[in-house]
Each structure stands twice: as C-alpha cells, then as structure tokens.
C-alpha cells in the first residue's frame, strides 16, 4: 500500500506532482522548475517513485517521469472512503449526543 501521506507530506513533492500533471518531464526539466539543487530534487523523486506515485523510463540519455494516474486514482478513492467513514462516525456520535445528551435551556 502506498504511503500517500509520506509522498504528499512535502510541499516540493506536491509541486512536482502538479508539474507532472501537465505532462511527462525529464529530470532536467523538473530541476529547472525549482530553486533547489538537483540532488535535492532527486531525493524527492526517489520518494515519489518508492511510493509509486510516479513512474520513470529512460528515453535516450534522459530519464522521463510521469504521474501514475491509476495509483493516484486508487489513493484518492481510499482517502474519500476514509474521510467518509470518519464523518459518518462523527455524525452518529453527534446524533446520539443530541438525542440523549444534556441540552439545557438557561
């Protein structure tokens, strides 16, 4: 299972994903879009690759990165389900509190 929070927990990684939303990019194109070093970008790309949020392939001399849209869609659906379950639990608790709770007219 992908650790979405690890991958999205950093602003630079979120910006890389946003950049790749526009289309496939080489590492050089990604590095040129940021004011940080190539090794720092490489570390962020490594995390995104480890979490399978992006894929890469070699094209000639260049490594090309792209979004793993299938995994992102699955992660999105899982997060929606998780948030929905949390909200359902909270609404049940609120309903129970209102129906049985101590509501005072002062």
Domains and CATH numbers, the chain: 4-100 (1.10.10.10)
Tell me if 79 sits within 8 A of 4, measured CB to CB.
yes
∠5-63-2 over CA atoms, to 5°? 20
- Would you state the pLDDT for residue 95? 75
What's residue 5's pLDDT?
A: 80
pLDDT along the chain (106 residues), means of 10: 80 96 96 96 96 94 94 84 82 77 57
The Cα 58–Cα 70 span in angstroms is 21
Q: Are 52 and 7 in contact (CB under 8 A)?
A: no
What's the pLDDT at 93?
77
Looking at residue 65, its pLDDT comes to 98
pLDDT given for residue 90 in this prediction = 78
Q: What is the pLDDT of residue 58?
A: 95
pLDDT of 103 reads 55
What pTM value is reported for the model? Answer: 0.73
């Amino acid at each position: 299972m992908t650790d979405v929070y690890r991958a999205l927990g950093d602003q630079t990684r979120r910006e890389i994903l946003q950049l790749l939303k526009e289309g496939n990019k080489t590492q050089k194109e990604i590095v040129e879009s940021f004011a940080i070093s190539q090794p720092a970008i490489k570390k962020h790309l490594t995390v995104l690759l480890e979490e399978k949020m992006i894929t890469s392939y070699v094209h000639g001399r260049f490594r090309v990165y792209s979004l793993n849209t299938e995994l992102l869609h699955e992660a999105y659906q899982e997060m929606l389900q998780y948030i929905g379950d949390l909200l359902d639990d909270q609404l049940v608790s609120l309903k129970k509190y209102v129906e049985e709770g101590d509501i005072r007219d002062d």
